[in-house]
Structure 1
Amino acid sequence: MYRNEQWLFDNGKPVKIIVRNYTKEDFDELIDIQAECFPPPFPSALWWNKEQLTNHVSLFPDGALCIEMNGKVVSSMTGVCINFDPSHPSHTWAEATDDGYIRNHDQKGNTLYIVDISVRPSFRSLGLGKIMMQAMYQVVVEKGFERLLGGGRMPNYYKYADLYSANEYVERVVNGEIHDPVISFLLRCGRLPIAVVENYLEDEESLHYGVLMEWKNPFKQLN
């Protein structure tokens, strides 16, 4: 099981956090985090439910991480193990994650796929997302996966869709010409884009596109 205690600074004040696997005792807080991250009009039926969370902690507990601060769970990140073929990258979020139920978890898979990352809005200035991503990289190395992979939203794309194709938009974000809150964050975490996928997720801001972004295991020699 994963557990790492460290310090971060909140307005110059050191605060201890615990990065650990989440358990059944955390379910109510995890659903509360989803409610804070995705308030109405986002449908509450799409927040985590306890059947999904139960699958996360029973099918692949190594991929169920959270951060606890002052006794409160303030962020979470979930992964599933799949087999990914880089020569055929197109898929939807629902296909890769079994709609978040991860019943498709493959113990012999080559890729740790990110299902979700959520940080309470009032804690987003603390860099918790990057800390969780680094923790999941450690899981990739520990388990010997070839890569960490996930589809990023492109929430600013709708502002530029009349000017650029989805691929051009991602290229301009990578070049620093455009800031995108999700893609730019993932770049800062060390993830690299490998493909833009149509109809990845029902997401009007992204015009339903997603950009697959990976982190390759530096200790794994790929053929």
Structure 2
Amino acid sequence: MYRKEQYVFKDNHIHKAVIRNYRENDFDELISIQQKAFPPPFPSDLCWNKDQLTQHLSHFPLGAICVEIDGKLVGSMTSLIVDFTLTDPPHTWEEITDNGYIRNHKPNGNTLYVVDLCITPDYRGFKLGKLMMEAMYEIVVHLHLERLLGGARIPTYHKVADTLRIEEYMKKLTRGEYKDPVITFLLQAGRTPLKAIKDYIEDEESCHYGVLMEWRNPFIKNHTP
């Protein structure tokens, strides 16, 4: 199981952070965090329910982590292991995560796939998302997997969709010509965009696109194409 303690900083104040695997007695808080982190127009039925959280602990408890600040639960990140190659056909979030239930978790797969990441709004600015991302990188290395992968929202894309194709917008984001709260954060956290997938998730702000973004295990030389 995973547990790490370190200090984080905000507004010249220092706080103790604990990153650990979440447990059954955390479920109510985890659901509340998701509801606060993903307000409408994000579909409410995509927020966790207790059955999904139970499945996470049943199939891959190591990949179910949360973060506490000064003893208060304020965020979570969940993953599963899949087999992945770039030649695979496009997938949706629902398909690859089993609608968030992860019953399709493959212990012998090659890729740690991010199911979700959320921080309660009051605790944004502590860089907790990056902290949990780094924990997932450590799990990738620990399990000798090839990569961390996940489909990212692009919540600013609807503002430019009439004038820019998704591939053009991604190039501008990686050049720093535009900023997106999700994609820019992932770039800063070490993730690299691979390709955009149409109809990846029901998300009006992203025009229903998702961008596959990867972090490769630097200790593995021969990655699956």
TM-score, shorter chain, exceeding 0.5: yes
| Residue 8 (structure 1) aligns with | 8
| Cα shift readout 1:32-87 (whole Å, capped 9, x = no counterpart) | 10111123454543320111001111210110011011221101000000001112
| Residue 125 (structure 2) aligns with | 125
| Cα shift readout 1:67-115 (whole Å, capped 9, x = no counterpart) | 0112211010000000011122511101110010000000101000000
Unaligned runs of 5+ in 1: none
| Residue 208 (structure 1) aligns with | 208
Matching of residue 219 in structure 1 with residue 219 in structure 2? yes
CA distance in 2, matches of 1:72, 1:100: 25
Unaligned runs of 5+ in 2: none
| Residue 177 (structure 1) aligns with | 177
Percentage of identical aligned residues: 55
May I ask how many residue pairs the two structures share in their alignment? 223
- Opposite residue 217 of structure 1, the aligned amino acid is N
| Residue 61 (structure 2) aligns with | 61
Deviation at 1:118, TM superposition (A): 0.5
| Residue 21 (structure 2) aligns with | 21
| Residue 167 (structure 2) aligns with | 167
Structure 1: 4+ residue segments shifted above 3 A: 40-45
Deviation at 1:10, TM superposition (A): 2.6
Matching of residue 136 in structure 1 with residue 136 in structure 2? yes
Question: Is the 8 Å Cα contact of residues 133 and 189 (structure 1) preserved in structure 2?
Answer: yes
TM-score computed with the length of structure 2 as normaliser: 0.96
| Cα shift readout 1:91-149 (whole Å, capped 9, x = no counterpart) | 11011100100000001010000000000001111100000000100000000110000
Question: Is the 8 Å Cα contact of residues 89 and 195 (structure 1) preserved in structure 2?
Answer: no
- Give the 3 Å change call, closer, same or farther, for CA 141–118 of structure 1 in structure 2: same
CA distance in 1, matches of 2:108, 2:207: 34
